Chains A and B, each alone.
Chain A
Amino acid sequence: MDGVVLALGQGFNGLSVASLYLLAALGLALSFGLMRVINMAHGELLMLGGYIAYLVMKAVPGTAGLLLALPAAFAGSALLGAAIEATLIRRLAARPLDTLLATWGLSLILQQAARNIFGPIGVEVRAPAWMNTAVAVGPLSFATTRILILALSVVLLAGLALLLTRTRIGLLVRAVNQDRMMAAAVGVDVRRVDMVMFALGSGVAGLAGVALGLLGPVTPTVGQSYIVPAFLVVVMGGLGSITGSTVAAIILGVFTAMVQIFVDVSVAQVLMLLLVIAFIQVRPQGVLAPRTRALDA
């Protein structure tokens, strides 16, 4: 009986970790699917979201602060993302290795900037008091914060799905994704679509930053600890596929939580990496067949 309770509890923790991985990975998946670029500074967009949450919730305590922090973090990270797209990514888009290097350099600069402004030690986001509770279901207890983060990622996924399938910009994004040259030839401003999607993905990273801030201290390197699993999610999900990324995030999140019943966190990370390596040996196209231009060819 204890074993079942433990497994259910870890299963929930796994879904909670999965939702964080997914929030961190969605922006990467969007920009990779559309532009085939890898933004190494994506983790710092998470970090920015976390610091914005810290500042907003310091100024406005309680639930109102949280409700303000979410749009503020989204907007802040989206703006920074748009600036990164316009200054670095767009100019280097044809040279993937240069993009990698330049955004990595930017990531170091942003981390140092955070260290200079907020200090090297983490800051605590003051969550509303009611969030430090837990919901008890029989012998199980679920942290309210984690339930909220899970809900946030479900809402975001649904929102993104609606945006991509039901709106004009979503249609144009899919068109650009499938055939960039042809999309331009039918009058779509592909660079604007790139920028909107990059900003959107960055904004989602900002929201992920708020979620991280609710769970632990925000440090200059907080993004770094989530960026590797986020990359793993994108790779395992089939480079750019949103549905694939979701499935991959759940697999990896639940897997790490489950193995943590038997081993410590570091070993769990190693096992997760091994799982992904083994997985892409068997299924290099990811959990779902990719629907992206570069891999269609």
Chain B
Amino acid sequence: MTPLLRLNRVCAGYGQSQVLWDIDLDIPAGGVTAIIGRNGVGKTTLLRAIVGAQPLTGGQMLFDGWDVSGQASHHRARAGVGYVPQGRHVFPHLTVEENLSTGLSAAGGRGDGKIPAYVFEMFPKLDQIRHRKAGVLSGGEQQQLAIGRALTGMPRLLLLDEPTEGIQPNVVQQIEAALQRVRQDLGVTIVIVEQYLDFAWSFADRYAVLQRGRIIREGDTRTERAEDVAGLVSL
């Protein structure tokens, strides 16, 4: 079976400094893949490269068999790549509802032009605060909004960059429950960048460890033990 996303010797960097080196990675459809590694190893850059916010300096990227390497971000989004970036990046001066409806640009013809009902079912809080400006929301609310906005685009692949970072525990549980639903009920493939190994292991089926811009190990979280990779990830 062809993977939903295939990275083929992907290189990327900022100016003179190369961050990603020859990344080969297959993301099978339907599963959850955790990208793990220490700070500054290129996890965020890898997601940015998949989204198209970071141009490739080499290699090739296929989304559902389509070469997206040189495609602009919005084409990838419309093809079904959803993105929840680190720091959430909600539009601060737009209301919650307006933020969500920007996501409709990605849904295009796949949706009916309305914010899907499941977004408010997963995050009832967003319904209560739909007329508030996103900039004044708490971190947890912003994170729910960022995920809701990505889901409004009806993605086939959802990229999450440390979605639980700096968020209070009860909201983390809610986000986890929502992501389980995204995976099981909506059948969305998920790639999650995560610092916390325990969470990565409980949520993902597969993992890939990044170190200094290279993938040094990948495998199956169902058959391998977290302790075996802990040494590669811990500080």
Contacts and interface: CB of A to CB of B under 8 A. Distances in A.
Contacts of B105: 172, 186-189
B49 to A, nearest CB: 12
Contacts of B98: 171, 174-175
A190 B102 contact: no
B72 A174 contact: no
Nearest to B146: A182
Interface in B138-186: 149-150, 153
A178 B94 contact: yes
**Chain A interface SS verdict (over half):** helix
B73 A184 contact: yes
A186 B93 contact: no
Contacts of A187: 74, 77-78, 103-108, 153
B51 to A, nearest CB: 5
Interface string B83-110: 1010001011110001001111111100
Interface in B52-95: 52-53, 72-74, 77-78, 83, 85, 89, 91-94
Contact of A190 (B74, B89, B153): B74
Interface string A284-297: 00000001000010
B74 A188 contact: yes
Contacts of A188: 74, 102, 105
B106 A186 contact: yes
B163 to A, nearest CB: 15
Contacts of B85: 182, 185
B149 A186 contact: yes
Interface string A156-192: 0000000000000001101100110111111111110
Nearest to A292: B93
Nearest to A165: B98
A278 B176 CA distance: 54
A171 B94 contact: yes
B197 to A, nearest CB: 27
A94 B74 CA distance: 19
B93 A178 contact: yes
A175 B94 contact: yes
Nearest to B105: A187
Contacts of B106: 186-187
A172 B102 CA distance: 7
A190 B91 CA distance: 15
Contacts of B104: 187
A183 to B, nearest CB: 7
Contacts of A172: 102, 105
B27 to A, nearest CB: 18
A28 to B, nearest CB: 21
A185 B88 CA distance: 12
B74 A189 contact: yes
Nearest to A192: B74
Interface of A: 171-172, 174-175, 178-179, 181-191, 291, 296
7 contacts: A175-B94, A184-B52, A185-B74, A187-B77, A189-B72, A191-B72, A291-B93
Given A174-B93, A187-B78, 4 more contacts: A179-B89, A184-B74, A188-B102, A190-B74
Interface of B: 51-53, 72-74, 77-78, 83, 85, 89, 91-94, 98, 101-108, 149-150, 153
